[in-house]
Amino acid sequence: MAADAAETTDAGGDGGETWADVSPEAARRLLLAAVDAFAERGFHATTTRDIAGRAGMSPAALYIHFRTKEELLYQISRVGHERSVRILTEASEVSEDPAERLASAVRTFVRWHAERHTTARVVQYELNALSPEHHEQIVELRRRTGAVMRGILEDGVAAGRFAVPDVPGTALALLSLCIDVARWFNPDGPRSPEQIGELYADLALRMVGAH
């Protein structure tokens, strides 16, 4: 709990960047508290009273900003997925060379999931608790993430840089590797987010047979 509690102050160590657009401040505090609670207990085991208590507010105050606990989860998922799509897209545009683009995308995506592992665990692993309507909206954001990765691989194959017979399957495998970092990353472990990012970038290039 110690690592997650410390992380909650800025939702994953990003200086509040992920949540900077959330207002008013009370809503932002509730989102931060929900991230911490959902990551620790899971969506279904978390109560609105627990979330409000962590935010230093009354349970009634929560409903001023969010109609339901599920809406809180949706907002966390939406903001987190929009942020991950943006950073992956930006990282993939650093160069025209497919190998450099792939390494940058994987390195950045892995670091995001390690540095913000509490937030990322909720964003990536609580999708089934969303309502059908909200679930579809989040799935569409995930499709955009997949499209970015597939685009890099397709460009690499077209340029003769990658040997990838199954682009969709390989893109899914690479994204799964990046996302899973949030599940096991330990800030007290032997590798830093930067080191894991470099390792995974090298593994990605090996997977696609980069020349």
Q: Is residue 12 pLDDT above 60, yes or no?
A: no
Report pLDDT for 95: 93
Tell me how far apart the alpha carbons of residues 105 and 178 are, in angstroms, rounded to a whole number.
10
Rounded to two decimals, the pTM is 0.84
Q: What is the CA radius of gyration of the chain?
A: 18
Q: Is residue 10 pLDDT above 50, yes or no?
A: no
- Sorted by where each starts, the structural domains of the chain and their CATH numbers stand as 2-68 (1.10.10.60), 70-207 (1.10.357.10)
**Amino acid at residue number 109:** F
The two three-digit tokens of residue 50, written as one number: 């627990």
Q: Is residue 9 pLDDT above 60, yes or no?
A: no
Tell me how far apart the alpha carbons of residues 162 and 128 are, in angstroms, rounded to a whole number.
35
Tell me how far apart the alpha carbons of residues 83 and 94 are, in angstroms, rounded to a whole number.
17
120-179 pLDDT tens trace: 999 999 999 999 999 999 999 999 999 999 999 999 999 999 999 999 999 999 999 999
30-41 pLDDT tens trace: 999 999 999 999
Q: Which of the pair, 1 or 118, is modelled with greater confidence?
A: 118
Report pLDDT for 25: 85
CA distances from 207 to 25, 172, 211 (A): 44, 12, 11
Tell me how far apart the alpha carbons of residues 14 and 18 are, in angstroms, rounded to a whole number.
7
